[in-house]
Structure 1
Amino acid sequence: MEQKNITADLSNYISKMLRDNFGKGPENVYVSIGLNYITFYLKNFLSPTEKVLMQKDKENTVQETRDTVMSNLIPQIQGYIKVVTGMEINYFFYDWGLHNRSGMMVGLSSDETQTNFPVNENYKGKEQLEEEIVEISKEAQKTPENIYSCQLNPRTILIIRNGILVRIEKEIIRMGFQEHLRIAKRKLEKQLLHNNTLFNKILETKVSDVFVDWDFDVDKSVILLIMNPNKPHNP
Protein backbone atom coordinates (compact mmCIF):
# COMPACT_ATOMS: atom_id res chain seq x y z
CA MET A 1 0.00 0.00 0.00
CA GLU A 2 1.29 3.47 -0.88
CA GLN A 3 2.16 5.86 1.93
CA LYS A 4 -0.67 8.29 1.12
CA ASN A 5 -3.20 5.44 1.27
CA ILE A 6 -1.80 4.24 4.60
CA THR A 7 -1.93 7.72 6.14
CA ALA A 8 -5.47 8.29 4.83
CA ASP A 9 -6.62 4.96 6.31
CA LEU A 10 -5.07 5.74 9.70
CA SER A 11 -6.43 9.29 9.68
CA ASN A 12 -9.98 8.04 9.11
CA TYR A 13 -9.58 5.38 11.80
CA ILE A 14 -8.35 7.81 14.47
CA SER A 15 -11.05 10.36 13.59
CA LYS A 16 -13.82 7.79 13.96
CA MET A 17 -12.39 6.28 17.15
CA LEU A 18 -12.12 9.66 18.88
CA ARG A 19 -15.57 10.70 17.70
CA ASP A 20 -17.08 7.46 19.01
CA ASN A 21 -15.39 7.81 22.41
CA PHE A 22 -15.43 11.57 23.01
CA GLY A 23 -18.64 12.53 21.23
CA LYS A 24 -16.73 14.77 18.84
CA GLY A 25 -13.79 13.90 16.64
CA PRO A 26 -11.01 16.17 15.38
CA GLU A 27 -11.63 18.25 12.29
CA ASN A 28 -8.35 17.00 10.78
CA VAL A 29 -5.87 14.23 11.57
CA TYR A 30 -2.47 14.53 9.89
CA VAL A 31 -0.48 11.28 9.89
CA SER A 32 3.30 11.17 9.35
CA ILE A 33 5.34 7.97 9.05
CA GLY A 34 9.07 7.40 8.72
CA LEU A 35 11.31 4.48 9.69
CA ASN A 36 10.00 3.32 13.10
CA TYR A 37 8.13 6.54 13.93
CA ILE A 38 4.48 7.42 13.40
CA THR A 39 2.83 10.67 14.48
CA PHE A 40 -0.75 11.94 14.50
CA TYR A 41 -1.48 15.66 14.67
CA LEU A 42 -5.07 16.50 15.60
CA LYS A 43 -6.72 19.84 14.88
CA ASN A 44 -9.92 21.34 16.28
CA PHE A 45 -10.50 18.60 18.84
CA LEU A 46 -12.56 19.75 21.83
CA SER A 47 -16.01 18.47 22.74
CA PRO A 48 -18.80 20.84 23.87
CA THR A 49 -18.55 19.48 27.44
CA GLU A 50 -14.78 19.98 27.47
CA LYS A 51 -15.25 23.52 26.18
CA VAL A 52 -17.48 24.32 29.16
CA LEU A 53 -14.94 22.81 31.57
CA MET A 54 -12.14 24.85 30.01
CA GLN A 55 -14.19 28.03 30.42
CA LYS A 56 -14.49 27.19 34.12
CA ASP A 57 -10.70 26.65 34.45
CA LYS A 58 -11.12 22.88 34.81
CA GLU A 59 -8.26 21.95 32.49
CA ASN A 60 -6.98 19.25 34.86
CA THR A 61 -10.42 17.60 34.79
CA VAL A 62 -10.31 17.47 30.99
CA GLN A 63 -6.76 16.07 31.07
CA GLU A 64 -7.64 13.38 33.62
CA THR A 65 -10.77 12.33 31.72
CA ARG A 66 -8.85 12.06 28.47
CA ASP A 67 -6.10 10.07 30.21
CA THR A 68 -8.70 7.58 31.41
CA VAL A 69 -10.23 7.17 27.96
CA MET A 70 -6.86 6.95 26.21
CA SER A 71 -5.69 4.15 28.49
CA ASN A 72 -8.44 2.02 26.93
CA LEU A 73 -7.89 3.21 23.35
CA ILE A 74 -4.11 2.86 23.07
CA PRO A 75 -4.05 -0.97 22.71
CA GLN A 76 -6.66 -0.71 19.93
CA ILE A 77 -4.68 2.01 18.14
CA GLN A 78 -1.47 -0.02 18.41
CA GLY A 79 -3.25 -3.05 16.98
CA TYR A 80 -4.65 -1.14 14.01
CA ILE A 81 -1.28 0.45 13.24
CA LYS A 82 0.22 -3.04 13.10
CA VAL A 83 -2.50 -4.27 10.74
CA VAL A 84 -2.09 -1.33 8.34
CA THR A 85 1.68 -0.72 8.49
CA GLY A 86 3.21 -3.85 10.04
CA MET A 87 4.77 -1.67 12.76
CA GLU A 88 4.91 -3.25 16.22
CA ILE A 89 4.44 -0.20 18.45
CA ASN A 90 6.49 -0.60 21.64
CA TYR A 91 6.02 2.92 23.01
CA PHE A 92 3.00 5.20 22.63
CA PHE A 93 2.75 8.84 23.66
CA TYR A 94 0.06 11.52 23.48
CA ASP A 95 -0.48 15.12 24.51
CA TRP A 96 -3.13 17.81 24.14
CA GLY A 97 -2.93 21.49 23.31
CA LEU A 98 -6.32 22.23 24.84
CA HIS A 99 -6.18 25.99 24.35
CA ASN A 100 -5.37 25.42 20.66
CA ARG A 101 -7.89 22.56 20.42
CA SER A 102 -5.06 20.40 19.11
CA GLY A 103 -3.35 17.17 20.07
CA MET A 104 -0.74 14.63 19.11
CA MET A 105 -0.07 10.91 19.31
CA VAL A 106 3.32 9.31 18.67
CA GLY A 107 4.18 5.64 18.25
CA LEU A 108 7.69 4.17 18.28
CA SER A 109 8.07 0.71 16.77
CA SER A 110 10.74 -1.94 17.07
CA ASP A 111 13.63 -1.74 14.60
CA GLU A 112 12.57 -5.13 13.23
CA THR A 113 9.18 -3.77 12.11
CA GLN A 114 10.18 -0.30 10.94
CA THR A 115 8.91 1.01 7.62
CA ASN A 116 10.84 1.84 4.47
CA PHE A 117 9.59 5.42 4.51
CA PRO A 118 12.51 7.85 5.00
CA VAL A 119 13.08 10.60 7.56
CA ASN A 120 15.42 13.59 7.41
CA GLU A 121 18.05 13.24 10.13
CA ASN A 122 20.07 16.20 8.83
CA TYR A 123 17.43 18.91 8.66
CA LYS A 124 18.44 22.56 8.87
CA GLY A 125 18.96 23.72 12.46
CA LYS A 126 19.15 20.20 13.92
CA GLU A 127 22.25 20.74 16.07
CA GLN A 128 21.06 24.08 17.45
CA LEU A 129 17.57 22.72 18.13
CA GLU A 130 18.90 19.72 20.05
CA GLU A 131 21.16 22.03 22.08
CA GLU A 132 18.15 24.19 22.96
CA ILE A 133 16.11 21.13 23.98
CA VAL A 134 18.99 20.04 26.23
CA GLU A 135 18.98 23.47 27.91
CA ILE A 136 15.23 23.27 28.49
CA SER A 137 15.62 19.74 29.88
CA LYS A 138 18.33 20.94 32.27
CA GLU A 139 16.07 23.72 33.53
CA ALA A 140 13.12 21.37 34.06
CA GLN A 141 15.00 18.32 35.37
CA LYS A 142 18.45 17.34 34.04
CA THR A 143 20.50 16.86 30.91
CA PRO A 144 19.19 13.89 28.89
CA GLU A 145 21.48 10.90 28.71
CA ASN A 146 20.92 10.97 24.96
CA ILE A 147 18.78 12.83 22.45
CA TYR A 148 17.68 12.07 18.89
CA SER A 149 15.65 14.10 16.44
CA CYS A 150 14.42 13.83 12.87
CA GLN A 151 12.10 15.62 10.47
CA LEU A 152 9.29 13.45 9.15
CA ASN A 153 8.02 16.09 6.71
CA PRO A 154 8.18 19.90 6.31
CA ARG A 155 5.60 20.27 9.10
CA THR A 156 6.79 17.73 11.69
CA ILE A 157 9.93 17.34 13.82
CA LEU A 158 10.16 14.53 16.36
CA ILE A 159 12.58 14.69 19.31
CA ILE A 160 13.25 11.71 21.59
CA ARG A 161 15.01 12.06 24.95
CA ASN A 162 16.23 9.21 27.13
CA GLY A 163 17.33 9.42 30.76
CA ILE A 164 15.81 12.69 31.99
CA LEU A 165 14.25 11.74 35.34
CA VAL A 166 15.95 12.93 38.52
CA ARG A 167 16.08 10.79 41.68
CA ILE A 168 13.17 12.47 43.45
CA GLU A 169 10.94 11.95 40.39
CA LYS A 170 11.86 8.27 40.31
CA GLU A 171 10.92 8.01 43.99
CA ILE A 172 7.56 9.73 43.34
CA ILE A 173 6.90 7.18 40.59
CA ARG A 174 7.92 4.30 42.87
CA MET A 175 5.41 5.55 45.47
CA GLY A 176 2.60 5.38 42.89
CA PHE A 177 2.08 9.08 42.21
CA GLN A 178 3.10 9.13 38.56
CA GLU A 179 -0.12 10.80 37.40
CA HIS A 180 0.52 13.71 39.78
CA LEU A 181 4.06 13.90 38.43
CA ARG A 182 2.78 13.85 34.85
CA ILE A 183 0.42 16.78 35.53
CA ALA A 184 3.21 18.78 37.18
CA LYS A 185 5.71 18.05 34.40
CA ARG A 186 3.15 18.92 31.73
CA LYS A 187 2.65 22.32 33.29
CA LEU A 188 6.34 23.07 33.86
CA GLU A 189 7.94 21.70 30.73
CA LYS A 190 5.21 22.81 28.33
CA GLN A 191 5.49 26.32 29.74
CA LEU A 192 9.23 26.28 29.00
CA LEU A 193 8.65 24.90 25.50
CA HIS A 194 5.83 27.29 24.63
CA ASN A 195 7.70 30.32 25.94
CA ASN A 196 10.85 29.49 24.00
CA THR A 197 11.69 32.27 21.56
CA LEU A 198 14.47 30.48 19.66
CA PHE A 199 12.64 27.63 17.93
CA ASN A 200 11.31 29.90 15.16
CA LYS A 201 14.73 31.46 14.63
CA ILE A 202 16.59 28.13 14.60
CA LEU A 203 14.18 26.46 12.17
CA GLU A 204 13.55 29.65 10.15
CA THR A 205 9.81 29.01 10.19
CA LYS A 206 6.88 29.45 12.55
CA VAL A 207 6.39 26.70 15.13
CA SER A 208 2.63 26.59 15.60
CA ASP A 209 2.30 23.76 18.16
CA VAL A 210 4.56 22.03 20.69
CA PHE A 211 3.74 18.76 22.48
CA VAL A 212 5.54 16.64 25.06
CA ASP A 213 4.90 13.34 26.84
CA TRP A 214 6.83 10.80 28.93
CA ASP A 215 7.03 7.07 29.50
CA PHE A 216 8.16 6.95 33.11
CA ASP A 217 8.67 3.17 33.10
CA VAL A 218 11.57 3.43 30.63
CA ASP A 219 12.58 7.06 31.33
CA LYS A 220 11.83 8.16 27.77
CA SER A 221 10.19 11.32 26.48
CA VAL A 222 9.06 12.64 23.11
CA ILE A 223 8.63 16.22 21.96
CA LEU A 224 6.74 16.99 18.76
CA LEU A 225 7.13 20.31 16.98
CA ILE A 226 4.48 21.26 14.43
CA MET A 227 5.61 23.94 12.00
CA ASN A 228 3.90 26.10 9.44
CA PRO A 229 6.28 26.02 6.47
CA ASN A 230 4.15 28.62 4.69
CA LYS A 231 5.01 31.18 7.40
CA PRO A 232 8.76 31.84 7.45
CA HIS A 233 10.24 33.34 10.58
CA ASN A 234 10.81 37.08 10.40
CA PRO A 235 13.77 38.07 12.62
Structure 2
Amino acid sequence: MEKNSVHAEIASYTGKLFRDNFGKGPSSVYVSIEHPFITIYLSDFLAPMERVLVGQKNYMKVEETRDFLMQELLPEIKATLRVTADVDVENIYYDWSLRNKSGILVAVIKEENSEEQISDLSDYPKKDEVNNEIIRVSELAEKAPEKVESVYLNSRTLLVDRKGILVRIEKELINSGFSEQLRLSKRQLEKRLLDPTVFETILGTQIQDIFVDWDFSLDKSYIIFILKPK
Protein backbone atom coordinates (compact mmCIF):
# COMPACT_ATOMS: atom_id res chain seq x y z
CA MET A 1 0.00 0.00 0.00
CA GLU A 2 1.29 3.49 -0.89
CA LYS A 3 2.43 5.74 1.94
CA ASN A 4 -0.35 8.32 1.43
CA SER A 5 -2.94 5.54 1.39
CA VAL A 6 -1.59 4.17 4.67
CA HIS A 7 -1.80 7.64 6.24
CA ALA A 8 -5.35 8.12 5.00
CA GLU A 9 -6.50 4.71 6.22
CA ILE A 10 -5.01 5.24 9.69
CA ALA A 11 -6.60 8.70 9.90
CA SER A 12 -10.00 7.39 8.82
CA TYR A 13 -9.85 4.48 11.28
CA THR A 14 -8.78 6.73 14.17
CA GLY A 15 -11.53 9.25 13.52
CA LYS A 16 -14.20 6.54 13.46
CA LEU A 17 -12.81 4.77 16.55
CA PHE A 18 -12.90 7.94 18.63
CA ARG A 19 -16.30 8.94 17.31
CA ASP A 20 -17.76 5.53 18.20
CA ASN A 21 -16.26 5.47 21.69
CA PHE A 22 -16.28 9.12 22.78
CA GLY A 23 -19.51 10.20 21.11
CA LYS A 24 -17.65 12.72 18.98
CA GLY A 25 -14.62 12.26 16.77
CA PRO A 26 -11.93 14.77 15.88
CA SER A 27 -12.61 17.12 12.97
CA SER A 28 -9.13 16.44 11.56
CA VAL A 29 -6.59 13.65 11.99
CA TYR A 30 -2.98 14.12 10.84
CA VAL A 31 -0.81 11.01 10.52
CA SER A 32 2.97 10.97 10.19
CA ILE A 33 5.22 7.90 9.92
CA GLU A 34 8.91 8.39 10.57
CA HIS A 35 10.50 5.17 11.84
CA PRO A 36 10.45 4.22 14.62
CA PHE A 37 7.44 6.48 15.33
CA ILE A 38 3.89 6.89 14.08
CA THR A 39 2.24 10.10 15.29
CA ILE A 40 -1.52 10.74 15.11
CA TYR A 41 -2.52 14.35 15.86
CA LEU A 42 -6.18 15.06 16.59
CA SER A 43 -7.76 18.49 16.30
CA ASP A 44 -11.17 19.79 17.42
CA PHE A 45 -11.73 16.78 19.66
CA LEU A 46 -13.98 17.38 22.69
CA ALA A 47 -17.21 15.49 23.42
CA PRO A 48 -20.32 17.42 24.57
CA MET A 49 -20.15 16.17 28.16
CA GLU A 50 -16.41 16.88 28.27
CA ARG A 51 -17.11 20.41 27.06
CA VAL A 52 -19.26 20.99 30.16
CA LEU A 53 -16.52 19.68 32.49
CA VAL A 54 -13.85 21.74 30.75
CA GLY A 55 -16.09 24.80 31.08
CA GLN A 56 -16.10 24.10 34.83
CA LYS A 57 -12.28 23.73 34.71
CA ASN A 58 -12.59 20.09 35.79
CA TYR A 59 -9.76 19.03 33.50
CA MET A 60 -8.44 16.12 35.57
CA LYS A 61 -11.83 14.38 35.59
CA VAL A 62 -11.90 14.45 31.78
CA GLU A 63 -8.32 13.18 31.54
CA GLU A 64 -8.96 10.42 34.07
CA THR A 65 -12.02 9.20 32.15
CA ARG A 66 -10.12 9.30 28.86
CA ASP A 67 -7.23 7.36 30.38
CA PHE A 68 -9.52 4.52 31.43
CA LEU A 69 -11.16 4.38 28.02
CA MET A 70 -7.83 4.52 26.18
CA GLN A 71 -6.59 1.46 28.07
CA GLU A 72 -9.47 -0.45 26.46
CA LEU A 73 -8.75 0.96 22.99
CA LEU A 74 -4.95 0.58 22.84
CA PRO A 75 -4.91 -3.16 21.95
CA GLU A 76 -7.28 -2.50 19.03
CA ILE A 77 -5.21 0.45 17.82
CA LYS A 78 -2.02 -1.64 17.94
CA ALA A 79 -3.68 -4.43 15.97
CA THR A 80 -4.97 -2.02 13.34
CA LEU A 81 -1.55 -0.38 12.91
CA ARG A 82 -0.01 -3.82 12.53
CA VAL A 83 -2.35 -4.65 9.65
CA THR A 84 -2.53 -1.21 8.03
CA ALA A 85 1.09 -0.07 8.28
CA ASP A 86 2.68 -3.54 8.47
CA VAL A 87 4.52 -2.71 11.70
CA ASP A 88 4.74 -4.25 15.16
CA VAL A 89 3.89 -1.54 17.69
CA GLU A 90 5.74 -1.83 20.99
CA ASN A 91 3.87 0.86 22.90
CA ILE A 92 1.49 3.78 22.38
CA TYR A 93 1.78 7.05 24.27
CA TYR A 94 -0.94 9.69 24.30
CA ASP A 95 -1.93 13.01 25.80
CA TRP A 96 -4.54 15.76 25.42
CA SER A 97 -4.71 19.53 25.29
CA LEU A 98 -8.26 20.08 26.48
CA ARG A 99 -8.06 23.86 26.19
CA ASN A 100 -7.06 23.52 22.54
CA LYS A 101 -9.40 20.55 21.95
CA SER A 102 -6.49 18.52 20.54
CA GLY A 103 -4.64 15.29 21.27
CA ILE A 104 -1.70 13.15 20.21
CA LEU A 105 -0.98 9.43 19.90
CA VAL A 106 2.62 8.30 19.48
CA ALA A 107 3.12 4.67 18.49
CA VAL A 108 6.64 3.31 18.95
CA ILE A 109 7.49 0.67 16.35
CA LYS A 110 9.35 -2.37 17.63
CA GLU A 111 12.60 -2.54 15.65
CA GLU A 112 16.04 -3.87 16.44
CA ASN A 113 17.83 -0.67 15.43
CA SER A 114 15.32 1.86 16.73
CA GLU A 115 17.92 3.68 18.85
CA GLU A 116 20.15 4.10 15.80
CA GLN A 117 17.21 5.42 13.78
CA ILE A 118 16.45 8.02 16.44
CA SER A 119 20.10 9.11 16.39
CA ASP A 120 19.98 9.44 12.60
CA LEU A 121 17.02 11.84 12.93
CA SER A 122 18.37 13.86 15.82
CA ASP A 123 20.49 16.65 14.32
CA TYR A 124 18.81 20.04 13.94
CA PRO A 125 19.69 23.67 14.79
CA LYS A 126 19.36 24.60 18.49
CA LYS A 127 19.17 20.96 19.55
CA ASP A 128 21.51 21.48 22.51
CA GLU A 129 19.50 24.48 23.72
CA VAL A 130 16.26 22.48 23.54
CA ASN A 131 17.78 19.52 25.40
CA ASN A 132 19.25 21.78 28.09
CA GLU A 133 15.86 23.42 28.70
CA ILE A 134 14.25 19.98 28.94
CA ILE A 135 16.87 18.98 31.53
CA ARG A 136 16.23 22.18 33.49
CA VAL A 137 12.46 21.59 33.54
CA SER A 138 12.93 17.93 34.48
CA GLU A 139 15.12 18.94 37.42
CA LEU A 140 12.36 21.23 38.67
CA ALA A 141 9.70 18.53 38.31
CA GLU A 142 11.63 15.44 39.43
CA LYS A 143 15.31 15.06 38.51
CA ALA A 144 17.62 15.45 35.55
CA PRO A 145 17.08 12.62 33.05
CA GLU A 146 19.81 10.06 32.62
CA LYS A 147 19.46 10.54 28.86
CA VAL A 148 17.73 13.09 26.61
CA GLU A 149 17.29 12.90 22.84
CA SER A 150 15.18 15.18 20.65
CA VAL A 151 14.21 14.71 17.01
CA TYR A 152 12.08 16.36 14.33
CA LEU A 153 9.64 13.77 12.99
CA ASN A 154 8.35 16.26 10.43
CA SER A 155 8.31 20.03 9.94
CA ARG A 156 5.69 20.50 12.67
CA THR A 157 6.46 17.73 15.19
CA LEU A 158 9.41 17.82 17.60
CA LEU A 159 9.69 14.77 19.88
CA VAL A 160 11.81 14.60 23.05
CA ASP A 161 12.75 11.21 24.50
CA ARG A 162 13.72 11.18 28.19
CA LYS A 163 15.01 8.16 30.09
CA GLY A 164 15.63 7.75 33.82
CA ILE A 165 13.53 10.55 35.34
CA LEU A 166 11.56 8.94 38.17
CA VAL A 167 12.56 9.70 41.76
CA ARG A 168 12.21 7.19 44.61
CA ILE A 169 8.92 8.53 45.98
CA GLU A 170 7.35 8.30 42.50
CA LYS A 171 8.50 4.69 42.14
CA GLU A 172 7.02 3.94 45.55
CA LEU A 173 3.67 5.47 44.52
CA ILE A 174 3.68 3.35 41.36
CA ASN A 175 4.42 0.19 43.33
CA SER A 176 1.60 1.10 45.73
CA GLY A 177 -0.96 1.31 42.91
CA PHE A 178 -1.17 5.09 42.47
CA SER A 179 0.04 5.21 38.85
CA GLU A 180 -3.03 7.01 37.51
CA GLN A 181 -2.98 9.69 40.20
CA LEU A 182 0.75 10.21 39.62
CA ARG A 183 0.27 10.46 35.85
CA LEU A 184 -2.48 13.08 36.19
CA SER A 185 -0.44 15.15 38.64
CA LYS A 186 2.76 14.97 36.57
CA ARG A 187 0.88 16.10 33.46
CA GLN A 188 -0.35 19.20 35.24
CA LEU A 189 3.04 19.99 36.78
CA GLU A 190 5.25 19.47 33.74
CA LYS A 191 2.94 21.35 31.38
CA ARG A 192 3.09 24.34 33.72
CA LEU A 193 6.88 24.17 33.69
CA LEU A 194 7.24 23.69 29.92
CA ASP A 195 6.96 27.37 29.01
CA PRO A 196 6.03 27.66 25.30
CA THR A 197 7.62 31.12 25.01
CA VAL A 198 11.02 29.74 26.04
CA PHE A 199 10.92 27.06 23.34
CA GLU A 200 9.51 29.52 20.80
CA THR A 201 12.53 31.75 21.41
CA ILE A 202 14.91 28.82 21.00
CA LEU A 203 13.26 27.37 17.89
CA GLY A 204 12.24 30.64 16.27
CA THR A 205 8.68 29.48 15.65
CA GLN A 206 5.35 29.39 17.48
CA ILE A 207 4.30 26.39 19.58
CA GLN A 208 0.74 25.21 18.99
CA ASP A 209 0.58 22.32 21.48
CA ILE A 210 2.72 20.55 24.07
CA PHE A 211 2.01 16.95 25.07
CA VAL A 212 3.64 14.69 27.69
CA ASP A 213 3.30 11.00 28.54
CA TRP A 214 5.25 8.36 30.47
CA ASP A 215 5.95 4.67 30.60
CA PHE A 216 6.50 4.15 34.31
CA SER A 217 7.60 0.53 33.89
CA LEU A 218 10.43 1.61 31.55
CA ASP A 219 11.12 4.89 33.41
CA LYS A 220 10.89 6.94 30.24
CA SER A 221 8.83 9.80 28.88
CA TYR A 222 8.03 11.52 25.62
CA ILE A 223 7.37 15.23 25.17
CA ILE A 224 5.86 16.30 21.86
CA PHE A 225 5.84 19.86 20.56
CA ILE A 226 3.43 20.67 17.74
CA LEU A 227 4.63 23.74 15.88
CA LYS A 228 2.34 26.19 14.11
CA PRO A 229 2.69 26.08 10.32
CA LYS A 230 4.68 28.97 8.92
The TM-score range, normalised by the shorter chain, is over 0.9
Aligned-partner Cα distance in 2 for 1:7–1:91: 19
Residue 201 of structure 1 corresponds to: 201
Q: Deviation digits for residues 189-222 of structure 1, max 9, x if unmatched?
A: 01111x3422111111111100000111111100
Matched, 1:121 2:122: yes
Aligned-partner Cα distance in 1 for 2:86–2:164: 28
Q: Which runs of 5+ in 1 are unaligned?
A: 231-235
SS in 1 for 2:197: coil
Q: Which amino acid aligns with 2:150?
A: S
Mapped contact 1:36–1:87 kept (Cα < 8 A)? no
Give the number of equivalent residue pairs: 227
Mapped contact 2:196–2:207 kept (Cα < 8 A)? no
Once the two structures are aligned, what percentage of the paired residues are identical? 45
SS in 1 for 2:217: coil
Residue 221 of structure 2 corresponds to: 221
Q: Which amino acid aligns with 2:138?
A: S
Residue 105 of structure 1 corresponds to: 105
Mapped contact 2:212–2:222 kept (Cα < 8 A)? yes
Q: Which amino acid aligns with 1:147?
A: V
Residue 64 of structure 1 corresponds to: 64
Q: Which amino acid aligns with 1:142?
A: K
SS in 2 for 1:159: strand
List aligned pairs for 1:164-203, cutoff 5 A.
164-193=165-194, 195-203=195-203
Q: Which amino acid aligns with 2:214?
A: W
Instruction: Report the Cα offset of residue 112 of structure 1.
Output: 3.9
Runs of 4+ in 1 over 4 A off after TM superposition: none
Residue 34 of structure 2 corresponds to: 34
Q: Deviation digits for residues 130-151 of structure 1, max 9, x if unmatched?
A: 1111111111001111112211
Q: Which runs of 5+ in 2 are unaligned?
A: none
Aligned-partner Cα distance in 1 for 2:198–2:3: 33
Closer/same/farther in 2, CA of residues 146 and 138 from structure 1, 3 Å limit? same
TM-score normalized with structure 1 length: 0.92
Matched, 1:138 2:139: yes
Instruction: Report the Cα offset of residue 58 of structure 1.
Output: 2.0
Instruction: Report the Cα offset of residue 166 of structure 1.
Output: 0.3
Residue 163 of structure 2 corresponds to: 162
Aligned-partner Cα distance in 2 for 1:147–1:81: 27
